[in-house]
Amino acid sequence: MRADENDATLAYCQDTNANTMILVTGSTGFVGRSLMAALQQGDRPVLAYTGRINDRLALGEALEGVETVIHLAGAEARDRKRLLRLVDLQGTERLLAAMRQAGAQRLVFLSRLNAEPASMHSLLQVKGQAERLIRQSGIPYVILRSATLYGRDDRFLNVIAGLAYWSWPVMWLPGGGRIATQPLWVEDLARCLAAAVERDDMLGQTLELAGEERLRYSDLARHVLRTAGLNRYELGVTPKLIRPLSAVLFGWWRRPPVTRFFLDRFSVPEVAATDSVYAHFGFRPGRIGQHTSYLRGRGLQWRFFRLS
């Protein structure tokens, strides 16, 4: 961060009121549910934002008495580029304006590894543009760039297992399964987000977080098959074939289990330092084998459709 941006951030922090409330956007989502549970174990009051993220009036009312905002709201699951810009970008812009007006003192923003304003991938491009808005806002911030997350209701390992179930007798491996991954358990990310609220030393920083196991996608898929009790033949396939096929099969779903943003993971490796969580937050994240027993549950064939 440039010196003038840092000075503006510090000046803003000194001028705002010392409130206590934490406001969480996207509190009912996959990350939000885990985060709310983690925050409610602490002493500080927490409020879930229930309005539209680009509703200026609702934002202004919700921010009264709020010191810190944890911004999770996004439209990735809807698989629509228009909604991505409306929610993730315009919503962030309006949130920042409302925070300045209300005098909120800190923003903790959940972004994605490889976020870049000029990225060729829509999700990473919009996340990068949202990051740029935050850095230029003058509001003290912490940006956490996360690897793909997994957990009981995830749209990652559940998707892999569901696709394997319905594509018998094969397991599709985009790009031959060679892309590198470092999945992070959602509960560990929630712990990091909650801790970032209290960490003044992190203000003005963009931190990258990922699990400690760096795996090829094929190795991760094999773990999913073993855990779910499925036997499949591995079949490498080019992403150029997968994209039009998924558009035909899932393009009409309101929340498709396989989105273009899901498929983008096979174009850009999602990796960070293997000790990133420990280096920034002082604890070791869970390992894949410790937290994937939910894949053994009954009804795997229907769970895939409930993701929509």
Kindly state the tokens that stand for 56. 């200026």
Each residue of 163-185: b (16+ CB within 10 Å) or e?
A: bbbeeeeebbbbbebebebbbbb
pLDDT at position 162? 87
- Phi first, then psi: what are they for 181, rounded to 5°? -135, 155
| Burial tier of 233 (Cβ tally within 10 Å: 0-12, 13-18, 19+) | exposed
* pLDDT 10s digits, 31-86: 999 999 999 887 779 999 999 999 999 999 999 999 999 999 999 888 788 999 99
Mean pLDDT calculated for residue range 173-196: 95
Instruction: State the first-to-last Cα distance of the chain, in angstroms, to the nearest integer.
Output: 39
* pLDDT 10s digits, 108-140: 999 999 999 999 999 999 999 999 999 999 999
Closest CA to 193 of 24, 20, 13: 24
234 in Cβ contact with 167 (< 8 Å): no
Banded pLDDT at 5 (limits 50, 70, 90)? very low
230 in Cβ contact with 165 (< 8 Å): yes
What is the layout of strands, in order, in the sheet containing 66-71?
Answer: 46-48, 21-25, 66-71, 106-112, 141-146, 205-209
Kindly state the tokens that stand for 232. 């499949």
Higher pLDDT, 8 or 161: 161
Tell me the CATH number of domain 3-147+184-209, given options 3.30.70.580, 3.40.50.620, 3.90.380.10, 3.40.50.720: 3.40.50.720
Q: Residue 249 and residue 301: Cα distance in Å, rounded?
A: 16
Phi-psi region of 274 (alpha: psi -120 to 50; beta: other; left: phi over 0): alpha
86 in Cβ contact with 75 (< 8 Å): yes
pLDDT at position 78? 80
pLDDT at position 301? 67
92 in Cβ contact with 143 (< 8 Å): no
Q: Residue 296 and residue 62: Cα distance in Å, rounded?
A: 41
Banded pLDDT at 16 (limits 50, 70, 90)? very low
Banded pLDDT at 17 (limits 50, 70, 90)? very low
CA 172 centroid distance within chain: 24
Banded pLDDT at 12 (limits 50, 70, 90)? very low
CA distances (Å), 91 to each of 25, 57, 78, 200, 230, in order? 10, 13, 15, 25, 41
* pLDDT 10s digits, 145-165: 999 999 999 999 998 998 888
173 in Cβ contact with 241 (< 8 Å): no
Residue 204 has pLDDT above 50, yes or no: yes
Q: Residue 85 and residue 75: Cα distance in Å, rounded?
A: 9
Closest CA to 246 of 146, 161, 182, 163: 163
Kindly list the domain boundaries of the chain, sorted by start residue: 3-147+184-209, 157-181+212-271+287-306
- Phi first, then psi: what are they for 204, rounded to 5°? 80, 10
Q: Which has the minimum average pLDDT: 126-140, 248-262, 278-292?
A: 248-262
Closest CA to 104 of 63, 162, 61: 63
CA torsion sign for 74, 184, 250, 33 is negative
pLDDT > 70: percent of the chain = 86
Each residue of 65-104: b (16+ CB within 10 Å) or e?
A: ebbbbbbbbbbbbbbbeeebbebbbbbbbbbbebbeebbb
- By DSSP bridging, strand 205-209 and strand 141-146 are parallel
